[in-house]
A and B are shown apart, each in its own frame.
Chain A
Amino acid sequence: MNAPETHFLYPSTLFVSRKHVVVSTVLGSCVAVCLHDPVNGVGGINHYMLPLWNGQGLPTPKFGNIAIMKLAEKVYAMGGSKAYLVAKVFGGGNVIENKCEGLLVGNRNADIACELLAEMGIRIVAKSLGGTRGRKIEFDTLTGEVRQRII
């Protein structure tokens, strides 16, 4: 088998492919949702920084609610089927010490992923969320496997 292509996923972007690609990204308080349909061979991943779009600026995948909806839409558009789709969720570490009063952005990012995926009926089969450290992950779009290192 040929070596897979590689792709570095920048914050606020998403990536979906039917080819064999290893997507890497680095997460602090950001969260990445990986969607994988092993039957139809579609894999996709996003990387968002804040939980919700508040109506300011453009509704980009910088925001969890937008990023998760857009990722699912794109996975479906590429032939993914809800029946086989599984999710893996990473990140949401509280790496910056209590910057804002009250709720921590890492926690809120993680919560929104779990809530939205449950609402959409997509099963979360693996997750690594929270903590106080960053993560580096590599997502294999063909196998759906995610390798994680705590950094």
Chain B
Amino acid sequence: MKHLTDEEIIDVLKARMKENKLALEEMKILTDELKSVNRKLEESEALKSHFISNITNEIVNPFSSILGLSANILSVEKENWKKVHSMVAMIYSEAFMLDFQLKNIFAAAKLEAGEVYPEIVKVDVQSLLSTVISSFRIEARRKKITMELKFEAEKDSSKTFYFKTDPEKLRLILSNLLHNAVSFSYEGGLITIRVWLEDGRLYISVRDRGTGLSESNQNIIFDRFRRVESGINSTNRGHGLGLSINKAMLDILKGNIRVQSESGRGTIFTFDLPEGEADAPAIATDSNEMFFDDQQIF
């Protein structure tokens, strides 16, 4: 065996020390990462346990309103029947919100159970958008908010614009964005919904001129059960599921969502999705191809 000089031994030791140091540094980075993930999980768990009390407003309040209003209608004298119309409108609006919130809760449950598939059909995007927008009209009117739709996806206005996607998921995604936009808008505000095509992808943005989001809040809004204190609408606190559902739904549709916002100046949410494949995936069972060549059986 070759004898090493002192210098050579020192060099080898130095190199090993350096390696160790690098390994330690790497370990430290990983530990830090682990710590932050742990903190997130703890927070998520804590928020989850507050979920029931958070959704009280969303479910119990509409129910009491519906019950109370129906009771009032029953006791209305015949000559005052005109009052009934406005009460029925309120019942409708409460029931609509209840239905919307329950849809979200069930959507979250189905997503977490891994039971959500894209169900792609040809969608008349403009009419879907109009339906969703008009479903929020009563809520918007209450706050004197104007909603405008800028449909820029099709130049030729004589033809209906179709896009292959999942209409139910698109509807829920849009409803969540619109609900947030209405909730976080100031009285008399303006909400702009813009639709356009870029590289074959459908882009939809929802812009409000409301409270806006600070940069730190922009990072947490897609986490579940997270609600941002707005100060604007303390009676309607939400359950903090909407945006996390949107993100997971868009994952399934291979879409993206991002937020641009400035505190006090409003928020723009933009999402985009590719056109889906109308039939079952081309890769679905095609038993012939499985018969020959290189298949393995386990």
Residues of A within 8 A of B (CB): 6, 8, 10, 12-14, 22, 24, 26, 46, 52, 54-62, 66-67, 70, 74, 88, 90, 126-128, 136, 138, 145-150
Which B residues lie within 8 Å of A74 (CB)? 113
- Chain A CB within 8 A of B92 CB: no
| A54 contacts B40, C-beta separation under 8 Å | yes
Residues of B within 8 A of A (CB): 37, 39-41, 43-44, 108, 111-118, 222-224, 244-245, 247-248, 251-252, 280-281, 283-285, 289-290, 293-298
Query: Nearest chain B CB to A133's CB is how many angstroms away?
Result: 11
- Which 7 residue pairs are nearest across A and B when measured between Cβ atoms? A55-B40, A61-B114, A126-B298, A14-B114, A146-B298, A8-B284, A13-B114
- Closest-by-CB residue of A relative to B115 is A13
| B285 contacts A138, C-beta separation under 8 Å | yes
| A57 contacts B247, C-beta separation under 8 Å | yes
| A58 contacts B283, C-beta separation under 8 Å | no
| A55 contacts B117, C-beta separation under 8 Å | no
- In the complex, A60→B245 CA distance in Å? 10
- Closest-by-CB residue of B relative to A125 is B298
Query: Nearest chain A CB to B61's CB is how many angstroms away?
Result: 25
Query: Nearest chain A CB to B157's CB is how many angstroms away?
Result: 35
| A13 contacts B295, C-beta separation under 8 Å | no
Which B residues lie within 8 Å of A126 (CB)? 298
- Closest-by-CB residue of A relative to B289 is A149
The interface centre, meaning the residue of B245, B251, B289, B298 with most chain A CB atoms within 10 A of its CB, is: B298
On whether A55 and B44 interact (CB within 8 A), knowing A13-B115, A149-B295, the answer reads yes
Query: Nearest chain B CB to A135's CB is how many angstroms away?
Result: 10
